[in-house]
Amino acid sequence: MSIFKAKIVIPVKSVRYAKILVDSVSPDNTPTPKGLKVKTWCKGKNVLTYIECRKSFETFLSTLDDILASFQLAEKTLRGVVGCRKMLS
């Protein structure tokens, strides 16, 4: 059985914004199906996601795509919120 792993690092402009992004996407990470682990956390001004997949390569790629889409949606939503614009600049 193959194990596919990835670590995604997304640099952002502030620690506060990193925490907001983590909170925005973390509910999507649990529960995961058997054979799939996804963990998202922040470290300073970086948002990190670790993926471990003991399923097919297609499942691994689909999971990566879902996570990146979640980050993209969260960031677009936050940019639309007037109070968050200062955190991004």
Question: Residue 17 is part of which domain span?
Answer: 4-88
Say if residues 30 and 83 touch (Cβ distance below 8 Å).
Answer: no
Domain with residue 24: its CATH number is: 3.30.310.50
What pLDDT, on the 0 to 100 scale, is given for residue 28?
A: 61
> What's the structural domain count of the chain?
1
Question: For 9-56, how does the pLDDT look when each residue is reduced to its tens digit (9 = 90+)?
Answer: 999 989 998 999 999 888 666 788 899 999 999 999 999 999 999 999
Say if residues 38 and 48 touch (Cβ distance below 8 Å).
Answer: no
What pLDDT, on the 0 to 100 scale, is given for residue 33?
A: 87
